[in-house]
Structure 1
Amino acid sequence: MKQLMEPESGSFLIANPHLNDPNFVRTVVFLCEHDATGTVGFVMNRKTGHTIGDLVPDFEGFDFPVYEGGPVGLDNLHFLHQYPEAIPGGKEVLDGVYWGGDFEILAGLLSEGRIEPQKVRFFLGYSGWGEGQLNFEMEEKTWIVAKATREFLFSDDETALWKNILTHLGGDYKLIINAPIDPRLN
């Protein structure tokens, strides 16, 4: 994994410890779209407590977890997957990782037992930044940017994801892992 200077599609935004926005404290956001008009991504390390079967009647009985994608569009369900041949219509955002696609086909594959839980991730809502907004946050040093990897993207230990990525980046990043959320408590 390599640290990047600027956000791009297929990268992680790792919240700096001083970020006190409750939507993003100690989060890792995977960016699926980043251009001059704005940015869209999904928080990778916060489960909602719901499964896809709880939220979609056609998926009753499926216990795939649903994650908080972010504070925007909370009535929308999104998904990332590693099934480009089986689920058409997705956008490749990282080598072999796709955002979205034909939901009806996904439903059929799920009901046939042809989807592995470690190769798909569901999100309620998304994280979004308008034109120039993320650039401002980058100037404020709110985020650390790193190239995303499938290893971390589909990690089965989402609670340790923030620390694991910073540890993997090494150097000074390892030092901030134990920083208090509120610096006044230091």
Structure 2
Amino acid sequence: MTQIIPAPGVLLIADPFLKDPNFMRTVVLLCEHQDEGSFGFVLNRQYEYTLDQLMASAEGMPLPVYYGGPVQVDTIHFLHRYPEKIPGGFEVIDGIFWGGDFETAVALLKAGEIEAANIRFFIGYSGWSEGQLQGELKEKSWITSKGNRKLIFHKDMNAIWKDALIDLGGEYGQLINYPIDPQLN
């Protein structure tokens, strides 16, 4: 299977042998890709604190926050499916938007006007400088795939990496059984 060219909405699925602790067995949704660099969020790493523990404006909302990546871990970002209600977002793939007015999103959640299952919060993000992601793709650190709502808003964070590989079919489904360190086998 040929690699899909990086672009917004493409998933980067960590190769089973990728040892970088920030990205081991992760799936990253690319939100932006340009010659100058790339930007996205790790979809399958939950952060140790909930939204209400990180943001005073989210008091009483113990929603999970995901570790988006190792860059600017003092910032909170979000993906959602409410472009008509949350202004200012950018469409990443059909029906999924990155960002927008944060306070509006929190107010809508508090009022019960949007569902928590259709919004994901991230602390930090994953970023690559010019040429860095292309180099990692050449080294086969990542397997690429088209993003989809099922994986981006998966109900079981621990199944995202495996399901992303299974969705690719064929030999990729076998990768889920590979040990993290084959030398220990």
Same structural fold, with TM-score higher than 0.5 when normalized by the shorter chain:
yes
Q: Which residue of 2 aligns with 1:171?
A: 170
Contact map agreement 2:109 2:116 (CA 8 A) in 1: no
TM-score by length of 1: 0.96
Asked whether 1:130 is paired with 2:119, we answer no
Corresponding position of 2:182 = 183
**Paired residue for 2:71?**
72
Aligned-partner Cα distance in 1 for 2:70–2:19: 15
Deviation at 1:49, TM superposition (A): 2.6
- Residues 36-55 of structure 1 aligned to structure 2 (within 5 Å): 36-55=35-54
1:17 and 2:16 are equivalent in the alignment: yes
Q: 1:60 to 1:25 in 2, by over 3 A?
A: same
Residue 82, structure 1, aligned to residue 87, structure 2: no
1:24 shift after superposition: 0.3
CA shift digits 1:7-32 (9 cap, x unpaired): 21101000001100000000000000
Of 71-80 and 109-118, more deviation after overlay is shown by 109-118
Distance in 2 separating the partners of 1:151 and 1:164:
10
Sequence identity of aligned pairs in percent?
A: 54
Contact 1:53 1:60 in 2 (8 A): yes
Q: Which runs of 5+ in 1 are unaligned?
A: none
Q: 2-side partners of 1:4 and 1:81: how far apart?
A: 27
Q: Larger deviation: 150-159 or 46-55? A: 46-55
Aligned length: 185
> Could you say what secondary structure the match of 2:108 adopts?
helix
Inter-CA distance 93–3: structure 2 relative to 1 (3 Å threshold): farther
Distance in structure 1 (CA, Å) of the matches to 2:11 and 2:18:
16
SS at match of 1:136: helix
Asked whether the 8 Å contact 1:74–1:126 carries over to 2, the reply is yes
CA drift of 1:3 comes to 7.0
Corresponding position: 1:111 with 2:110: yes
Q: Deviations over 1:60-98 (max 9, x none)?
A: 111210000000000000000000010010010010111
TM-score, normalised to structure 2, is: 0.96
8 Å Cα contact 2:49/2:65 also seen in 1? yes
Q: What do you get for the CA RMSD once the two structures are aligned?
A: 1.3
8 Å contact 1:9–1:32 — kept in the other structure? yes
> For the residues of structure 2 that align with 1:57 and 1:144, how far apart are their CA atoms?
38
Structure 1 contact 68–123 (Cα < 8 Å) conserved: yes
Letter in 2 for 1:158: M
Instruction: Give the Cα separation in 2 of the matches to 1:8 and 1:95.
Output: 13
Counterparts of 1:116 and 1:38, CA distance in 2: 33
Which range moved further: 136-145 or 109-118? 109-118
Q: What is the CA-CA distance between 1:135 and the residue it aligns to?
A: 0.4
